[in-house]
Amino acid sequence: MKAGLGIDIGGTNTKIILISEKSRVLKEVRFKTESARGYAGFLAVLSENINSLKKQFSGVRISGAGIGMAGDIDSERGILRFSPNLNGWRGIPLVADLRKRTGLDYAMENDANMAAWGAYVLELKRKARNVLVATLGTGIGGGVIVEGKLYHGSTGTAGEIGHAVIDPAGEKCACGNRGCLEAYCGSGAIVKRALSMIKNVEAYRARYGSGPDKKINTIALANAADAGDRTAKKVWAETGLYLGHGFGSMILVLNPEYLILTGGVSKGARHFMPSMNRAMEEFRIRTPFEKIRIIVSENADLGSYGAALYGLHSREN
Amino acid sequence: MKAGLGIDIGGTNTKIILISEKSRVLKEVRFKTESARGYAGFLAVLSENINSLKKQFSGVRISGAGIGMAGDIDSERGILRFSPNLNGWRGIPLVADLRKRTGLDYAMENDANMAAWGAYVLELKRKARNVLVATLGTGIGGGVIVEGKLYHGSTGTAGEIGHAVIDPAGEKCACGNRGCLEAYCGSGAIVKRALSMIKNVEAYRARYGSGPDKKINTIALANAADAGDRTAKKVWAETGLYLGHGFGSMILVLNPEYLILTGGVSKGARHFMPSMNRAMEEFRIRTPFEKIRIIVSENADLGSYGAALYGLHSREN
Q: Which residues lie across from A67 on neighbouring strands? A: A7, A108
Q: How far is CA B252 from the centre of its chain?
A: 22
Model confidence at B251, pLDDT cuts 50, 70, 90, reads very high
What does the alpha-carbon distance between residue A102 and residue A96 come to, in Å, rounded to a whole number?
10
Q: DSSP letters of A146-166? A: ETTEEE--SSS-TT-GGGSBS
Nearest chain B CA: its distance from A252 CA (Å): 5
> Do B158 and A257 make contact, defined as CB atoms within 8 angstroms?
no
Reading phi first (left if > 0) and then psi (alpha if -120 to 50, else beta), residue A179 is in: left
3-class state of residue A108 by DSSP: strand
Give which of B149, B167, B177, B252 to mutate to test A binding, by max A Cβ within 10 Å: B252
Cα three-residue angle B261-A153-B125, rounded to 5 degrees: 50
Residues from chain A that touch B163, judged by Cβ atoms under 8 A, are: 252, 283-285
Q: Which long-range contacts link B172-180 to residues 24+ away (Cβ below 8 Å)?
A: B173/A284, B175/A284, B175/A285, B176/A284, B177/A282, B177/A283, B177/A284, B178/A282
| The pLDDT of residue A11 | 87
CA distance between the termini of chain B: 20
Residues in chain B: 317
Cross-chain residue pair B163–A252, CB shorter than 8 Å: yes
pLDDT at B317 over 90: no
> In chain B, what residues touch A147 (CB-CB under 8 Å)?
146, 149, 151
Instruction: Kindly determine whether residue A72 and residue B285, on different chains, have CB atoms separated by under 8 Å.
Output: yes
pLDDT confidence of residue B265: 95
Q: Strand, coil or helix: what is A32?
A: strand
pLDDT at B1 (0 to 100): 83
CA B286 to mean position of chain CA atoms:
28
* A287 CA: distance to closest CA in chain B (Å): 7
Residue A134 CA to residue A141 CA, distance in Å, equals 6
Q: Give the list of residues 6+ apart from residue A208 with CB closer than 8 angstroms, or none.
A: A216, A220, A221, A223, A224, A227, A229, A232
Which is nearest to B295 in space by CA: B252, B253, B265, B262?
Answer: B262
Percent of chain B, pLDDT > 90?
Answer: 89
* pLDDT value, residue B80: 96
The answer to whether B216 contacts chain A (CB < 8 Å) is no
Residue from B171, B249, B257, B281 to probe the interface with A (highest A Cβ count within 10 Å): B249
Beta sheet of A149-151, edge-to-edge order: A149-151, A140-146, A131-136, A258-262, A293-296
3-state secondary structure chain B: CEEEEEEEECCCEEEEEEEECCCCEEEEEEEECCHHHCHHHHHHHHHHHHHHHHHHCCCCEEEEEEEEECCEEECCCCEEEEECCCCCEEEECHHHHHHHHHCCCEEEEEHHHHHHHHHHHHHHCCCCCCEEEEEECCCEEEEEEECCEEECCCCCCCCCHHHCECCCCCCECCCCCECECHHHHCHHHHHHHHHHHCCCHHHHHHHHCECCCCECCHHHHHHHHHCCCHHHHHHHHHHHHHHHHHHHHHHHHHCCCEEEEECHHHHHHHHHHHHHHHHHHCCCCCHHHHHCEEEECCCCCHHHHHHHHHHHHHCCC
What is residue B84's predicted lDDT score, i.e. its pLDDT?
81
Q: Quick one: CA dihedral A226, A227, A233, A235, positive or negative?
A: negative
- A142, A123 in Cβ contact below 8 A? no
Helix axes B111-124, B302-314, angle to 10 degrees: 80
Q: At what angle do helices B218-226 and B201-208 cross, to 10 degrees?
A: 80
Among B residues 235-274, those touching chain A with beta carbons less than 8 Å apart: 241, 245, 248-250, 252-257
List chain A residues with pLDDT less than 50: 317
Residue B255 near residue B305 (C-beta atoms within 8 A): no
Scanning A158-197 for CB atoms below 8 A from B yields: 158-161, 163-169, 173, 175-178
Distance CA B9, CA B66 (A): 11
**B76 interaction partners in chain A (CB closer than 8 Å):** none
As a whole number of angstroms, the distance between CA B64 and CA B308 comes to: 7
Half-sphere exposure at residue A29, Cβ-oriented, CA atoms within 13 angstroms: 18
pLDDT at position A6, please?
A: 97
pLDDT of residue A222: 97
Look at residue B222 and tell me whether its pLDDT is greater than 90. yes
Interchain CB distance below 8 Å, A253 and B166: no
Query: Is residue A254 a contact partner of residue B153, using CB atoms and an 8 Å limit?
Result: yes
**B26 CB within 8 Å of a chain A CB:** no
Q: Contact at 8 Å (CB) between B111 and B98?
A: no
Q: What single-letter amino acid sits at B9?
A: I
Contact A154, B129 (CB under 8 A): yes
Asked if B250's CB is within 8 angstroms of A160's CB, the reply is no
Whether A255 sits inside 8 A of B81 (CB atoms) is no
B108 Cβ under 8 Å from any chain A Cβ:
no
Q: What does the mean pLDDT of chain B come to?
A: 95
Q: HSE-up of B246 (CA within 13 Å, CB side)?
A: 34
The alpha carbon of residue B97 is apart from the nearest alpha carbon of chain A, in Å, by 23
Strand order from edge to edge, sheet including B258-262: B149-151, B140-146, B131-136, B258-262, B293-296
Q: How would you classify residue B305: left for phi > 0, otherwise alpha for psi between -120 and 50, otherwise beta? A: alpha
Give the integer Cα–Cα distance in Å for B16 and A158. 37
The strand order across the sheet containing A79-83 reads A72-74, A79-83, A89-92
Give the pLDDT confidence of B155-197 residue by residue, as tens digits: 999 999 999 999 999 999 988 999 999 999 999 999 999 999 9
